[in-house]
């Protein structure tokens, strides 16, 4: 992996992690704030409900106290016979009352009418007990005065004043009402004066005015608004930042305060329930910490999970890759083995080819005297019809043999085809080939061929065309051999001076994959031993040597059609009559011809065959004596007719030597098989022509006649 890719990968992972963390933080924040709001609202509900409960508790308490007082003193008054009796027993009456209610009472006092009026100027009192004024005592206690008028026989005998200690009331009724660790209740009057408080020092302070004076350095937040709301007589909750008044040194704290009015006498007081806000936040903080911890653990867990899964996947991928690699290796090894096998087979074929080539070459040499003597005998027994016929039979058999050897040579010496690029009639060659192919095609295949009746002149050779047809038709009938079918071969002229050869079958056809490879040497779909995979490779090579183009169309299950387009040669019309005249002239010319061949029988046959001419012949079985002769007088000879493979040096070397000394001399090379660079030698003017063995006298005279035609260096 390159560095850039690695960097980009790390940056990607980092970015994804960052986005993941941000999403988790945002989710926690949203959950936290929703949860917090719910809890704060719940706490507010709780404080206000508690305040209302406390308010009702206090009201009930005061009502009870009044009822008790009425009950006690009304009962006493019922037993009193007169004023004196009442006054005499007053001390006892008050003591008993005090003893029954002493938990709350500071004192119980008897007041005369004057004394009462002095104390409570604004209270209208009838039969029942009422609450009067409340007053602050020095020792941090508020006293609420409760009065009971004493009516005996319709006359007012004075008042009983019961002083209720509000601190005792607080301890009994309000102190137990505590929300949370630091929670407490307070009661203030509608001027803001604190009447009851958990911290004694706060009792008697006016929360609206005195606190600021008492604590000038402190700055509680939200208190003013709270007090204003409280004394307006409504219920509600507030969040304030204030102090725990018994430990102001601890600093500001956040409080939730629920408040509601308490009805006392004609007036109302305000009861507040205070709760520590931090106590609400504490579980929230715990939840937050837990959430973060759980989130972090989850991330860690998923991180590890992803890490292990990707590692596992990577391992699997790597294993798969290794497995694929091994499979490929195995495949290529077995492919290599197969190719080696084929190469061996190809080698064997090549060796066989060389062997066959040598045999065919020798065969040609041996056939040369037969054909030449046949010509001689034919002219000698021209008048004897029977003999002439027999000689013609021998000659035709010899020609057949030579044709066969030519084909063998053409087949086995594929690389020499190019050099044998001669104009020939493709239509005629194709007809001959098709006749041969017709014989080898199995019976279940119907062959139908249409070959142009006009000649199709191509530059190449009939052997190659035969091979093209043979290979393509063989493939076609092999593709149809199971089911049978129809094989169509069409060879005709088309536009643009071209000819089209079409070989069409309705056999098994080919898949896309097969089509891609068909021209590869050794590519075959046939079972081992059934095909070498060389057929189409050879066809392609031969077609391109004929400057043609090959195309294929195939549909699996339907069939295949190969189309080859050949360029057609414009036939150079030779003036036949002129050619014939020149032929006659050449025979009669007194040409000096040197014949060189290592086979004496060939030389003998040539000598005899050329007896029909006026030529002066000198024969050599070896190159050196021939050269010696030539060197003495290079201008002496008109034509040198030499075999290509002669002892001491080959025909080309000999020709080069001679041409150097006499460029006008005409050299014809005789050969049993075509050498690769023979055309090159002609091009370089080292030799002038070649004749393929087995040759006949006519070939030689025709070549000599060509040299005498206009345009060539006349002999």
Ligand X SMILES: Nc1ncnc2c1ncn2[C@@H]1O[C@H](COP(=O)(O)OP(=O)(O)OP(=O)(O)O)[C@@H](O)[C@H]1O
User: Which residues contact ligand X (rule: CB under 6 A)?
Assistant: 471, 475-476, 479, 505, 507-510, 514, 518, 523-526, 531-537, 560
Which CB atom, from 65 or from 541, has the smaller least distance to ligand X? 541
Q: Which stretch binds Mg ion (CB under 5 A): 145-153, 531-539, 597-605, 612-620?
A: 531-539
Our CB check for Mg ion shows the closer of 402 and 478 to be 478
CA distance linking residue 65 with residue 130, whole number of Å: 10
CB of 388 to ligand X, least distance (A): 45
Whichever of 369 and 535 has its CB closer to Mg ion, that residue is 535
Q: Is the peptide bond before 665 cis (omega within 30 degrees of 0)?
A: no
DSSP class of 571: P
Neighbouring residues of 306: CB distance < 8 A, sequence distance ≥ 6: none
Contacts of 379 (CB under 8 A, 6+ apart): 612
Nearer to ligand X, 489 or 582 (CB): 489
Minimum distance from residue 540 beta carbon to Mg ion (Å): 12
- Give the residues across from 494 on adjacent strands: 498
CB of 521 to Mg ion, least distance (A): 12
Q: How far is the CB of 357 from ligand X (least distance, A)?
A: 20
Minimum CB distance to ligand X, residue 561 (Å): 8
- 220 or 548, CB closer to ligand X? 548
Smallest distance, Å, CB 385 to ligand X?
Answer: 49
- The nearest distance, CB 525 to ligand X, in angstroms, is 3
From the list 590, 589, 693, the residue with the least C-alpha distance to 642 is 693
User: Rounded to whole angstroms, how far apart are CA atoms 271 and 230?
Assistant: 9
Q: Binding-site residue total for Mg ion (CB under 5 A)?
A: 2
Q: Which residues contact 507 (CB under 8 A, 6 or more apart)?
A: 476, 477, 478, 479, 480, 483, 485, 559, 560
Q: Which does 510 bind (CB under 5 to 8 A by kind): ligand X, Mg ion, none?
A: ligand X
183 binds, among Mg ion, ligand X, none (CB under 5 to 8 A by kind): none
Partner that binds at residue 507, options Mg ion, ligand X, none, CB closer than 5 to 8 Å by kind = ligand X
Quick one: what does residue 395 bind among ligand X, Mg ion, none, with the CB cut-off 5 to 8 Å set by partner type?
A: none
CB-facing half-sphere around the CA of 392: CA atoms within 13 A = 8
Pick what 39 binds: Mg ion, ligand X, none; C-beta below 5 to 8 Å, kind-dependent.
Answer: none
Residue whose CB is less far from Mg ion, 475 or 642: 475
Q: Give the residue with the Cβ less far from ligand X, 531 or 634.
A: 531
- Give, as ranges, the residues between 188 and 217 that touch Mg ion (CB under 5 A): none
Minimum distance from CB of 552 to ligand X (Å)?
Answer: 8
532 binds, among ligand X, Mg ion, none (CB under 5 to 8 A by kind): ligand X
DSSP characters over 341-390: HHHHHHHHHHHHHHHHHHHHHHHHHHHHHHHHHHHHHHHHTTT-HHHHHH
Which residue lies nearer to ligand X by CB, 509 or 672?
A: 509
- Spatial CB neighbours of 365, under 8 Å, sequence gap ≥ 6: 599, 602, 672, 693, 694
The verdict on 533 binding Mg ion (CB under 5 A) reads no
Q: Which of Mg ion, ligand X, none interacts with 476 (beta carbon under 5 to 8 A by kind)?
A: ligand X
From the list Mg ion, ligand X, none, partner contacted by residue 158 (C-beta under 5 to 8 A by kind): none
State whether the Cα torsion 355-357-362-366 is positive or negative: positive
Please identify which residue in 535, 548, 651, 694 interacts with Mg ion, judged by CB under 5 A. Answer: 535
**Residue 96 host element (H or E):** helix 83-101
Check: CB of residue 187 under 8 Å from CB of residue 168: no
CA 684/CA 652 separation, integer angstroms: 11
**Taking a C-beta distance cutoff of 8 angstroms, is the pair 162, 67 a contact?**
no
Confirm if 141 and 149 have CB atoms less than 8 A apart.
no
Q: What is the CB neighbour count within 10 angstroms for residue 405?
A: 25
Question: Which residue's CB is nearer to Mg ion, number 452 or number 475?
Answer: 475
Residues 467-486 touching Mg ion, rule: CB under 5 A, are 475
The least distance separating ligand X from the CB of residue 542, rounded to whole angstroms, comes to 13
**Are residues 361 and 354 in contact, defined by beta-carbon separation less than 8 angstroms?**
no
* SS3 category, 248: helix
Position with the least CB separation from ligand X: 535
Which region, judged by CB under 5 A, interacts with Mg ion, from 84-92, 507-515, 527-535, 613-621?
527-535
Residue placing its CB nearer to ligand X in the complex, 466 or 524:
524
706 touches 712 (CB < 8 A):
yes
CA distance 491 to 327: 47
Q: For the CB of residue 504, give the shortest distance to Mg ion in the complex, in Å.
A: 16
Nearest to 249 by CA among 221, 277, 218: 218
Q: Where are the alpha helices (DSSP H) in 413-456?
A: 426-440
CB of 518 to ligand X, least distance (A): 4
What sign for the dihedral angle of Cα 239, 240, 244, 250? positive
> Which entry of ligand X, Mg ion, none binds 180, CB below 5 to 8 A by partner kind?
none
307 CB neighbour count, 10 Å cutoff: 10
586 binds, among Mg ion, ligand X, none (CB under 5 to 8 A by kind): none
Please, what is the minimum distance in Å from the beta carbon of residue 538 to Mg ion?
9
Question: Quick one: what does residue 523 bind among Mg ion, ligand X, none, with the CB cut-off 5 to 8 Å set by partner type?
Answer: ligand X
> Closer CB to Mg ion, residue 365 or residue 475?
475
**Closest Cα to residue 275, out of 169, 198, 331?**
198
Q: In this complex, which beta carbon is closest to ligand X, that of residue 459 or of residue 537?
A: 537
Residues of this chain that interact with Mg ion (CB under 5 A) are 475, 535
């Amino acid at each position: 992996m390159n560095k850039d890719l690695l960097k980009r990968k790390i940056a990607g992972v980092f970015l994804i992690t960052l986005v993941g963390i941000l999403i988790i933080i945002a989710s926690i924040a949203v959950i936290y704030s929703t949860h917090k709001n719910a809890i704060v609202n719940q706490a507010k509900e709780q404080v206000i409900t508690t305040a209302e409960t406390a308010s009702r508790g206090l009201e009930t308490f005061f009502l009870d106290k009044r009822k008790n007082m009425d009950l006690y003193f009304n009962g006493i008054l019922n037993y009193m016979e007169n004023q004196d009796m009442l006054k005499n027993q007053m001390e006892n009456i008050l003591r008993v009352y005090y003893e029954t209610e002493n938990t709350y009472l500071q004192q119980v006092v008897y007041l005369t009418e004057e004394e009462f009026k002095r104390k409570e100027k604004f209270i209208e009192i009838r039969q029942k007990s009422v609450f009067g004024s409340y007053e602050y005592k020095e020792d941090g206690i508020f006293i609420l005065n409760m009065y009971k008028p004493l009516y005996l026989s319709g006359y007012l005998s004075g008042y009983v004043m019961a002083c209720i200690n509000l601190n005792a009331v607080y301890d009994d009724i309000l102190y137990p009402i505590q929300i949370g660790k630091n929670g407490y209740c307070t009661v203030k009057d509608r001027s803001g004066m604190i009447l009851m408080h958990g911290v004694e020092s706060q009792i008697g302070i006016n929360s609206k005015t005195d606190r600021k004076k008492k604590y000038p350095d402190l700055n509680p937040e939200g208190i003013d608004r709270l007090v204003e709301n409280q004394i307006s007589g409504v219920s509600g909750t507030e969040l304030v930042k204030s102090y725990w008044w018994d430990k102001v040194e601890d600093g500001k704290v956040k409080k939730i305060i629920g408040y509601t009015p308490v009805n006392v006498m004609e007036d109302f007081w305000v009861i507040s329930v205070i709760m520590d806000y931090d106590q609400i936040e504490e579980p929230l903080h715990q939840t937050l910490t837990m959430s973060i911890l759980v989130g972090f653990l989850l991330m860690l867990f998923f991180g590890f999970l992803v890490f292990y899964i990707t590692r596992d996947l990577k391992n699997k991928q790597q294993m798969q890759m290794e497995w694929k690699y091994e499979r490929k290796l195995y495949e290529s090894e077995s492919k290599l083995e197969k190719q080696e096998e084929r190469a061996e087979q190809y080698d064997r074929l090549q060796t066989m080819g060389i062997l066959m080539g040598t045999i065919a070459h020798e065969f040609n040499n041996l056939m040369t005297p037969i054909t030449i003597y046949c010509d001689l005998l034919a002219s000698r027994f021209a008048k004897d019809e029977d003999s002439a016929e027999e000689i013609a039979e021998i000659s035709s058999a010899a020609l057949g043999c030579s044709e066969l050897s030519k084909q063998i040579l053409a087949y086995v010496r594929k690389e020499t085809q190019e050099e044998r690029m001669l104009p020939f009639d493709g239509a005629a060659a194709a007809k001959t080939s098709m006749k041969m192919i017709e014989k080898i095609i199995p019976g279940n295949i119907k062959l139908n061929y249409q070959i142009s009746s006009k000649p199709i002149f191509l530059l190449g050779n009939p052997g190659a065309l035969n091979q093209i047809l043979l290979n393509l038709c063989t493939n076609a009938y092999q593709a149809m051999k199971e089911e049978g079918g129809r094989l169509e071969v069409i060879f005709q002229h088309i536009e643009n001076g071209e000819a089209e050869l079409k070989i069409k079958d309705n056999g098994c056809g080919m898949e896309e994959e097969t089509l891609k490879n068909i021209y590869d040497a050794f590519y075959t779909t046939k079972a081992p031993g059934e095909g070498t995979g060389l057929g189409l490779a050879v066809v392609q090579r031969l077609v391109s040597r004929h400057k043609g183009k090959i195309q294929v169309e195939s549909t699996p299950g339907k069939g295949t059609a190969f189309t080859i387009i050949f360029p057609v040669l414009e036939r150079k019309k030779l003036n036949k009559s002129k050619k014939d005249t020149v032929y006659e002239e050449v025979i009669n010319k007194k040409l000096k011809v040197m014949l060189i061949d290592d086979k004496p029988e060939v030389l003998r046959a040539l000598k005899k065959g050329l007896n029909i001419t006026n030529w002066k012949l000198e024969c050599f079985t070896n190159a050196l004596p021939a050269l010696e002769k030539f060197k003495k007088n290079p201008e002496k000879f008109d034509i040198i007719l030499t075999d290509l493979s002669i002892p001491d040096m080959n025909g080309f070397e000999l020709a080069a030597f001679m041409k150097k000394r006499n460029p006008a001399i005409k050299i014809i090379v005789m050969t049993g098989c075509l050498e690769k660079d023979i055309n090159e030698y002609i091009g370089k003017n080292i030799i002038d022509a070649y004749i393929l063995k087995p040759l006949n006298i006519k070939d030689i005279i025709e070549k000599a006649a060509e040299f005498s035609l206009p345009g060539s260096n006349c002999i």
